[in-house]
């Protein structure tokens, strides 16, 4: 004798699933409500458990983000307004650092188009110098007065377009190829 296999109805499948999940329901519950109760019990299990980051990991993430922001390049032309540096071709060597971030020492060329990290851009923008200016006092005599001015004049240029970057890359490849052949 062969036993007939009984195919369960969708309602029976829903009740079986609810029983397995431990969902409580009334005997006269509708299929739609039973499905809703099952999905509600599954939802919390699907949520990803957030792992608390250690203090050190949080500091490392913040430091990495700040480092990326400080190292973003800005395209500029820098000229020096300081009369004591009128013969200079570059800025003096400078570096930016604090207890968490240390950027490399660099000297930036003057009077040419150049890309500099934002940290150094901000540093150069903030620098001031004093110059002597001739002025007249109340009695009409010429006197020398000390005036504070921005040490560097920084001309901001727009970022390179994709075409310009490709052209620059090709020029660098050509130049490096020529230098290697020599």
Instruction: Provide the 3-class DSSP secondary structure of residue 43.
Output: helix
Q: What is the pLDDT of residue 127?
A: 95
Q: Is there a single domain that holds both residue 82 and residue 35?
A: no
Q: Is there a single domain that holds both residue 93 and residue 145?
A: yes
Residue at 61 is within a domain: no
Q: Is there a single domain that holds both residue 84 and residue 34?
A: no
Q: What is the pLDDT of residue 92?
A: 94
| pTM listed for this prediction | 0.59
Q: Is there a single domain that holds both residue 107 and residue 31?
A: no
Name the residue range of residue 17's domain.
10-43
Q: Is there a single domain that holds both residue 39 and residue 81?
A: no
Helix axes 118-126, 55-70, angle to 10 degrees: 70
Helix axes 10-21, 31-46, angle to 10 degrees: 40
Q: Is there a single domain that holds both residue 83 and residue 135?
A: yes
Q: Domain tally for the chain?
A: 2
Q: What is the pLDDT of residue 39?
A: 83
Beta-carbon contacts of residue 112 (< 8 Å; ≥ 6 apart): 77
Q: What does the pLDDT look like over 76-90, one tens digit per residue?
A: 999 999 999 989 999
Question: Which residues of the chain are modeled with pLDDT < 50?
Answer: 1, 179-182
């Amino acid at each position: 004798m062969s036993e007939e296999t009984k195919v369960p109805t969708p309602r029976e499948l829903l009740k079986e699933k609810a029983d397995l999940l431990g969902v409580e329901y009334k005997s006269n519950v509708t299929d739609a409500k039973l499905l809703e109760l099952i999905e509600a019990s599954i939802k919390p299990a699907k949520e990803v458990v957030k792992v608390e980051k250690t203090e050190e990991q949080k500091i490392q993430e913040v430091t990495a983000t700040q480092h990326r922001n400080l190292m973003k390049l800005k395209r500029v032309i820098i000229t020096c307004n300081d009369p004591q540096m009128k013969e200079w071709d570059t800025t003096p060597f400078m570096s930016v650092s604090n207890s968490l971030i240390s950027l490399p020492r660099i000297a930036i060329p003057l009077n040419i188009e150049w890309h500099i990290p934002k940290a150094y851009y901000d540093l150069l923008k903030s620098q001031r110098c004093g110059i002597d200016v001739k002025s007249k006092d109340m009695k009409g005599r010429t006197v020398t007065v000390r005036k504070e001015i921005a040490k560097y004049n920084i001309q901001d240029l727009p970022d390179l377009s994709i075409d310009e970057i490709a052209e620059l890359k090709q020029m660098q490849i050509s130049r490096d190829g020529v230098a290697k052949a020599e």
